[in-house]
Amino acid sequence: MKTQKSKILIVDDEPSQRELLAGFLNKKGFATKCAGSVAEAIEIFENEGFDTAVLDLKLPDGDGIELLKKLRAIDPDLGAIFLTAYASISFAVEGIRAGAEEFLEKPVELSQLEILLRKLTDHRKIVIENHALLETSAMNLPSEIIAESLQMKEIINIVARVAPTDAIVLITGESGTGKELVARLLHSGSNRSQKPFVPINCAAIPETLLESELFGYEPGAFTGARKRQSGKFEMASGGTVFLDEIGDFPALLQAKLLRFLEDGTFYRLGGTELVSPDVRIISATNRNIEKMVKSGTFREDLYYRLNLIRIHIAPLRERSADLLKLAKIFLNNFAKKHNKNIVGFTEDARNRFLRYDWFGNVRELKNVIERAVILSRNEYIPANLIPVNDEDSQETITVRKLDLRKLADIEREHILAILRYCNDNQTEAAKILGIHRNTLRNKLKEYGIETE
């Protein structure tokens, strides 16, 4: 099957620039159309669809940012790349940051443009596929789930495909990344959604009780067991059981769980009759389960059963688009809840967000913002209400050990760390580092750092 070319709209008032870009992109397999003004761009856009727009910031009859807003009113998923002179970059970054847009300095480095365009068109494919999947599946994406980053959009994509099946799913990720939220989404998108969703925290229930909790018991199974009691698996019949903290599942019970997953049956505690409730199993853990399998604390055969479909949620510090969006939404919600007139964060506060590690992920973010909203006396949350990593805090720097590494080694390490923070987004990284993008690029070459 021949794949369709991605369509790019180029808007620049300089004919030579338009020709250069269009010529290059056509050679690279894109389909292009050019416009020289806001009015011309809108006219073309109303007649045919595009995947991405490459926009000059300054146009004879308006600016690129305004133009993008108008184009997005027609197609909300349109990707965009702004061409800017260096001086206007910070203005541009401040001006919008709605997700799928990038900034490129003039003069445009063509290879860079190609990389960005491929990234944005891939992004758009996933977004459009998600719309289609969500429309055809029974799933309604609840408004409270935020998926701005590409990583999170990919997860929504998998969820939409997997939810309607009975497939066993294992969800992994650090604490507070949203594992339970994704599990609930899988349940609500399935035809079991009208039946119970039963979460069980395997780490919180004592080993001796877990077996009867899950599998139920017969009279006389143990002292005090007077009548038959169904376990969670039976209670969830027709629905979904969410085995949370599966990494803590007791070794002694792992065989019984495996058997249930393999042939769908088990005996209640003290029972002789096989029961076979119809449940779907979703499990989750924040532990490194592969490592546990290697060290022999988790059964390998059980792991393979649970790991049929794997959804891994990246830590929040690697999803800056989600981080900023969630921060904004939590801010609005808590300002309303606590009746405070707070409209945003100061720039310093926002910078702290991006530097902080958020080991407690979304849950920590939520708590930090609620606390900041309660304590803030200003319309804009000040930086001192946002936490810093220990190694960043001024107080702890004073007694630091003497570092005898070469300056270049320290610089290389710092650049790598910032790039990681920014998901390899060089424009963002250069901004945080306080250097020109080209300087950053030269340093990457010098230190042999490869980015995508």
Q: Which residues bind ligand ATP (CB under 6 A)?
A: 144-146, 173, 175-181, 286, 326, 362-363, 366
Distance CA 159, CA 165 (A): 10
CB distance 323 to 355 below 8 Å: no
- Six-digit token string for 311: 């959804």
Nearer to ligand ATP, 160 or 419 (CB): 160
Taking the complex as a whole, the smallest distance from the CB of residue 174 to ligand ATP amounts, in Å, to: 7
Q: How far is the CB of 322 from ligand ATP (least distance, A)?
A: 6
CB nearer to ligand ATP: give 180 or 348: 180
Identify the residue among 77, 180, 213, 348 touching Mg ion (CB under 5 A): 180
Q: Torsion angle, CA of 175/176/179/184, rounded to 10 degrees?
A: 140
Q: Taking phi first (over 0 means left), then psi (-120 to 50 degrees means alpha), and beta for anything else, what does residue 270 get?
A: left
Say which entry of ligand ATP, Mg ion, none residue 432 contacts (CB below 5 to 8 A, set by partner kind).
Answer: none
Provide the b/e sequence for 330-354 (b: ≥16 CB within 10 Å).
bbeebbeeeebebeebbeebbebbb
The CB-of-288 to Mg ion minimum distance in angstroms stands at 16
Q: Is 140 or 438 the residue whose CB approaches ligand ATP more closely?
A: 140
- Nearer residue to Mg ion within complex by CB, 77 or 180: 180
Q: Residue 323 in contact with residue 317, Cβ under 8 Å?
A: yes
Least distance in angstroms from the C-beta of 413 to ligand ATP: 30
What is the pattern of x (binds Mg ion, CB under 5 A) and - over residues 183-222? ----------------------------------------
Residue 64 burial (CB count, 10 A): 29
Comparing CB distances to Mg ion, the nearer of 180 and 213 is 180
Q: Is 318 in the site for Mg ion (CB under 5 A)?
A: no
Which of Mg ion, ligand ATP, none is residue 144 near (CB under 5 to 8 Å by kind)? Answer: ligand ATP
Can you read off the two tokens belonging to residue 222? 């143990």
User: What is the smallest separation between the CB atom of 232 and ligand ATP, expressed in angstroms?
Assistant: 18
Assess contact for 82 and 104: CB atoms under 8 A. Answer: yes
Of 180 and 278, which has the nearer Cβ to Mg ion?
Answer: 180
121: Cβ–Cβ under 8 A, 6 or more apart, which residues? Answer: 6, 51, 52, 79
Residues that bind Mg ion (CB under 5 A): 180
